[in-house]
Amino acid sequence: MIEFRDATVVAPGLDGDTTILHPTILTLREQRVSVIGGNGSGKSTLARLINGLVEPTAGAVRVGGSAGAGAAPAAATPDQLLDTRQDGPAVRRTVGFVFTDPAAQLIMPTVIEDVALSLRRTHRVKSERQAAALEVLGRFGLAALADRSVHTLSGGQKQLLAIATVLASDPAILVADEPTTLLDLRNARRIGDLLMSLPQQVLTVTHDLDLAARADRTLVVEAGRVVFDGTPADAIAHYRERALR
């Protein structure tokens, strides 16, 4: 569950403050949520609020739920929700974040080392951590690449590894910020299929309207405001109409 309570983001500047996200009230319980909008609309800021990469200037963002591999996320009650400003470490364990460019989060030399890094808190013993990392790679069809340098992977393999690395710690919520933008059609479809099949609650920011249409609920963001909130078909129609004006 994701909750925005008048969440606002204001950036100070030499010429005065700029509102990046106007006061936003949302409660997102659906398992698949997509967010669409033009460049600079504020949709990535909205996404980054969910795991604390950006903190609200005013208002609050709260998250909750629990999920393990193969299990549907359990709904959180309001008093169980975590505040992204006050409960930072717990929020980051609850919400995984996938960037547009996987190079932003693949930091270890080899594939297996990158996954193992995500498991250091839950698996203190190195041998156990390596075994768990190999199991994660197997789950995502990457076991054969375990000892490969991350720099030799294709774009699709890198994004798949980035997702596997984030999911290794079983977050309840996954936020993916334009995860298919840098991929060809085949790999974009592969990553989209994966995101839509996960047990976690998944919020995807995307320019890919076909991917957005596969969600349960879609938000349209424009000029720092959620201007439409509804079914994917209706939201996409609204977005197309406004974009062609």
Indicate whether 188 belongs to any domain.
yes
Give residue 79's pLDDT.
Answer: 66
Chain length of the chain: 245
Average pLDDT over residues 53-75: 75
Judge whether 25 lies within some domain: yes
pLDDT at 173 over 70: yes
Q: Which residue has the tokens 């920011």?
A: 205
Q: How confident is the model over 147-162, as pLDDT tens digits?
A: 999 999 999 999 999 9
Is residue 190 within 8 Å of 161, Cβ to Cβ? no
Phi then psi dihedrals of residue 102, to 5 deg: -60, -20
Mean pLDDT along residues 112-125: 92
What average pLDDT does the segment 105-115 reach? 95
Instruction: Say how far residue 133 (Cα) sits from the centre of its chain.
Output: 21
Confidence of residue 239 (pLDDT cuts 50, 70, 90): very high
- Asked whether residue 71 carries a pLDDT value surpassing 80, the answer given is no
| pLDDT of 202 | 98
- Given a contact cutoff of 8 angstroms between Cβ atoms, the answer to whether 121 and 186 are in contact is no
Total domains present in the chain? 1
**Chain mean pLDDT for the chain:** 93
**For residue 185, what are its two tokens?**
């059609």
Sign of CA dihedral 118, 138, 106, 211: negative
Query: Between β-strands 201-205 and 173-177, what pairing exists: parallel, antiparallel or unpaired?
Result: parallel
Whether 221 maps to a domain, the answer reads yes
Residue 224 has pLDDT above 60, yes or no: yes
**How far is Cα 90 from Cα 84, in angstroms, rounded to an integer?**
9
For residue 216, give the 3-state DSSP assignment. Answer: coil
228 - beta bridge partners?
A: 220
CA–CA separation, 20 and 186 (whole Å):
34
Is the residue at 15 inside a domain? yes
Q: Confirm whether 89 is domain-assigned.
A: yes
Residue 123 lies in a domain: no
What whole-number percentage of the chain has pLDDT above 70?
A: 94
For residue 17, pLDDT beyond 90:
yes
Three-state secondary structure call for residue 16: coil
Q: Which domain holds residue 195?
A: 2-100+171-243
Which one, of 151, 178, 150, lies nearest residue 165 by Cα? Answer: 150
Is 132 part of any domain? no
Residue 71 C-alpha from the chain's centroid: 18
Looking at residue 75, its pLDDT comes to 55
Nearest in space to 179 (alpha carbons), one of 167, 93, 168, 171: 167
Mean pLDDT, range 12-23, rounded to an integer: 93
pTM for this model (two decimals): 0.91
Q: Are strands 2-11 and 58-63 parallel, antiparallel or unpaired?
A: antiparallel
Distances, alpha carbon 138 to alpha carbons 133, 189, 227, in Å: 9, 20, 41
Label residue 55 by pLDDT band (50, 70, 90).
Answer: very high
Nearest to 190 by CA among 168, 153, 160: 160
CA distance 62 to 53: 13
Q: Residue 140 pLDDT > 90, yes or no? A: yes
Reduced to 3 states (helix: H, G, I; strand: E, B; else coil), residue 89 is: helix
pLDDT digits (tens, 9 = 90+) for 129-138: 999 999 999 9
pLDDT computed for residue 76 by the predictor: 58
What's the pLDDT score for residue 72?
A: 44
Task: Output the domain CATH number for residue 203.
Answer: 3.40.50.300
